[in-house]
Chains A and B, each alone.
Chain A
Amino acid sequence: MSELAVPSGRPARGLMALLHHARYVLSENPVTAFAFGLFLLIITAAVFGPLIVPYDPYASNTAMALKPPSMAHWFGTDQLGRDIFSRVVVATQLDIFIAVASVVLVFLMGGLAGVAAGFFGGWTDRIVGRIADTIMAFPLFVLAMGIVAALGNTVENIILATAIVNFPLYARIARAEANVRREAGFVMAARLSGNGDGRIVLTQVLPNIMPIMVVQMSLTMGYAILNAAGLSFIGLGVRAPTAEWGIMVAEGAAFMVSGEWWIAFFPGAALMVSVFCFNLLGDGLRDIVDPQRRT
């Protein structure tokens, strides 16, 4: 039987296959590899930051205030003599936590609502669509400010605000993708196999729109970091002594005019690098999770 000729190489399985595939994608695409390197660095800083930093990020030392970068203080010190390097590294944890939590939250809310809207259509679609429209009608950052101002200046509320602001994006992407697949042969086949609608959504439709959602999650990570930092910058986020990039930029901004550029510069650079990293990562992730690329 000629058609049984094997079209591709050995069948690989599970985790090993994924690792192989990841290695292939990384070696094919050095930019992705670079982004992954940065990502690992950020994660390391987020997890082990408090353990590895040379100074206590909250210990002030007025004798050492406003010192430019040196061998002792790589990123210099701020107006209270706190070591900026330590503060930037420690802040990673909070910023990444806010970003990850809000992205997961928005994926659960927006992604599932969108899939349901696209798959079931009708009233579900209308309701989800109108909610998304309503959110879109506000200037997003102002909406986030409003939510935090109304609910209170806590980390949870920053997460919630960031998630709500991103809701329409997720709902719409998931809706469009699910809608295309609603009539797909494999969905019909699943129905014939005795799957109910709920199961079809979760096992057939959702896994197939994961690649695009993962890319979206990575891209929104960058946005979520910026959003959290932005809220803190204008004083609506995390409060002052806490090490957080947004506040640090805000604090340093006052000193820019008098020439102490490093106070705002390094947390700003950390923000930029992490946003950049997540944006690059999005594309790389898509290649890894997309089965079509796994030839």
Chain B
Amino acid sequence: MTTLPLLDIRDLTVEFSTRRGIVCAVERIDVSVGKGETLAIVGESGSGKSVTSYAVMRILDRAGCIAEGTITFSGIDLRAASESDMRNLRGREISMIFQNPRAALNPIRKVGHQIEDVLMQHAQAGSQDVTAKAIELLEQVRIARPRERYHAYPFELSGGMCQRIVIALALACRPQLLIADEPTTGLDVTTQKTVMELVVELTRQRGMSTILITHDLGLAATYCDRVTVMEKGHIVETATARAIFTAPEHAYTRRLMRATPRPGVSLRDLLPEDAIARPTAQVLPIAADKTPLLVVEKLVKEYPSQGASRSLANLFRRGPAPESETFRAVDGISFSIGRGESVGLVGESGCGKSTTSTMIMRLTDATSGLIQFDGADIGTIPAKSFARLAIRKRIQMVFQDATDSLNPRFTAARAIADPILRLGGIKGRNAVRARCEVLARQVGLPLDLLDRFPHQLSGGQKARVGIARAIALHPELMILDEPTAALDVSVQAVVLNLLQELKETLGMSYLFVSHDLNVVRLLCDRVLVMRAGRIVEQGPTNQVLHAPEADYTRELLAAIPHPTFEPESNHARSA
């Protein structure tokens, strides 16, 4: 590249003033992005990758300031630009896709109107064609039934769809620079693929530049020209995607690559080489009993499929209501889980895997079908009264979002103690505390963290608290609802190993709900692949992942972005 880079960051230092003095979030970093180039900034949480992008957009929060350095965007000094200039640049010239699509969308405005707002704001459309353009954008981000979804509110859409709306918003004005901050983190692999391909396509078509901020090395490798690796506010390595993946120079890059789940490795391989192996306690012999622990037969969950507006319409309509007003989230699935077995439930968002798990957890009532746990039919017990039954403690769950699943006003110890106090049958403050400490040790949570509130804990620590709470009652069946989806890869590696170890020592069965086949591959004996409420394929993990029978499974496998570069540097190879 001979011309000036589109975006040039020199010596950037961003500081945050906090209660404990000034914290340097980003220290003296240099980043440049050429016209039409795609740059990935890879790092784990807290590495300063998001802060860098906020500095470019000048949307740092009040406590943060750019202490040093320059940011030049096509000749404009962004640090000195006036706020009104910045407003013009934002959205039209530099666009940003945020991490949390729900937070980025106005919850009380129809998504179609939100897209229109952007188009009108930057004079990209007039009042006649604005609706058509908005629908076209929805189509481009592969929203099914865009005309209908145009009228949807963000809460009516899945997380994946919300993110696609956000992407539609960002691309609405065809900006020169797109900053995508973990754009596909909450998305399905196939959606991720289509979205990233769309971004790459647009980048090429319009000579747009993209900064992709991600923790996913595979994603960075597949879709970016250059990769910058950040750690704790510093850039440790910048190189072409190929170079960084074939010959990573910095130790941190190597460690990051090692922790990324990929085919052909075992769980242990994810941990750093020097990790001290935790002494494995004796493995509980799994009862030779061949009767499965959990049997699910022809399970169905139906939801009424209309929103409030339709029911209002019903009031004014004469004659009988039209048929098929229900939506089958789970459509007659059958499977079983043996004792000590871990079964992966894989599928994309909206396939009904979460509904299935909440039904088995007895948090929701099934419409029809059988749920048999250890010979007892638990499906017929209403979810409302299940909480107080003794059987409750035999089925527990680790939630997807560790932050959301911890009461912000409970300390870690109080959160772990909750099930013990209710169902554990342990009395006395000290006894409960002692049990909490045992559990904390089991999940590797330092004891001095027990008195902290969730917001004082890191993501991995919160995940451990959630796991400790789930195993507190010695459950026989544990449902893991994407327990590592929100974690950094290195933390994920540790947590997955922990889960495996706990399963062996406590003799639990797992139902591992996930969208990530690479993770499922590591932890599960058997895999169920779900799509649109049905199981399309099930079988032993190796068989399903190496010789998939269903087209859908193949599609899923093909969509996983792959971190390893072939010598010929062929992009997007499939497993």
Contact = CB atoms under 8 A, between A and B. Distances in A.
Given A4-B461, A191-B363, A185 B401 contact: yes
A191 B362 CA distance: 10
B477 to A, nearest CB: 12
Contact of B408 (A3, A4, A292): A292
A204 interface: yes
28 contacts: A1-B494, A2-B490, A2-B491, A3-B460, A3-B490, A5-B458, A11-B448, A11-B451, A185-B401, A185-B406, A186-B408, A188-B397, A189-B406, A189-B415, A189-B418, A189-B469, A190-B407, A193-B469, A194-B393, A204-B407, A207-B409, A208-B407, A210-B409, A291-B408, A291-B409, A294-B455, A295-B18, A295-B455
Contacts of B458: 3-5, 7
B423 interface: yes
Given A1-B444, A3-B459, A4-B460, A185 B399 contact: yes
Interface in A194-251: 194-197, 204, 207-208, 210
A1 B494 CA distance: 8
A58 interface: no
B422 A193 contact: yes
B392 interface: yes
B387 interface: yes
Nearest to B445: A4
B469 A191 contact: no
Interface string A1-25: 1111101110101000000000010
Nearest to B449: A11
Nearest to A211: B409
Interface in B47-90: none
A9 B23 CA distance: 13
A188 B20 contact: no
B419 interface: yes
Contacts of B317: none
Interface in B122-158: none
A202 to B, nearest CB: 12
Given A185-B399, A185-B404, 15 more contacts: A1-B460, A1-B494, A3-B459, A9-B20, A185-B400, A189-B397, A189-B399, A189-B406, A194-B393, A194-B423, A195-B387, A195-B422, A196-B387, A208-B407, A208-B409
B490 A192 contact: no
Interface residues of B, number: 49
A1 B255 CA distance: 13
B429 to A, nearest CB: 15
Given A191-B363, A194-B393, A208-B409, A292 B455 contact: yes
Which of B392, B418, B446, B459 is most buried by chain A, counting CB atoms within 10 A of its CB? B418
A85 B448 CA distance: 55
Contacts, number: 110
B29 interface: no
Contacts of A52: none
A185 B405 contact: yes
A6 to B, nearest CB: 8
A272 to B, nearest CB: 32
B188 interface: no
A13 B387 contact: no
Contacts of A291: 408-409, 453, 455
A184 interface: yes
B404 A186 contact: yes
Interface of A: 1-5, 7-9, 11, 13, 24, 184-186, 188-197, 204, 207-208, 210, 291-292, 294-295
A208 B408 contact: yes
Contacts of A5: 458
Contact of B388 (A2, A184, A194, A294): A194
A188 B398 CA distance: 11
Interface in B330-372: 361, 363
A186 B446 contact: no
Contacts of B361: 192
B456 interface: yes
Contacts of A194: 387-388, 392-393, 419, 422-423
Contacts of A24: 19
Nearest to B451: A11
B457 A7 contact: yes
The CB with the most chain B CB atoms within 10 A, among A186, A207, A292, is that of A186
Contacts of B494: 1, 3
B19 A295 contact: yes
Nearest to A186: B407
Point out which of A2, A13, A194, A292 has the most chain B C-beta atoms below 10 A from its C-beta: A194
A24 B396 CA distance: 40
A8 B456 CA distance: 6
Given A1-B444, A189-B405, A291-B408, A196 B388 contact: yes
A233 to B, nearest CB: 41
B304 to A, nearest CB: 15
A191 B363 CA distance: 8
B427 to A, nearest CB: 15
B491 A3 contact: yes
A7 B418 contact: no
Contacts of A13: 451
Contacts of A1: 444, 460, 494
B15 interface: no
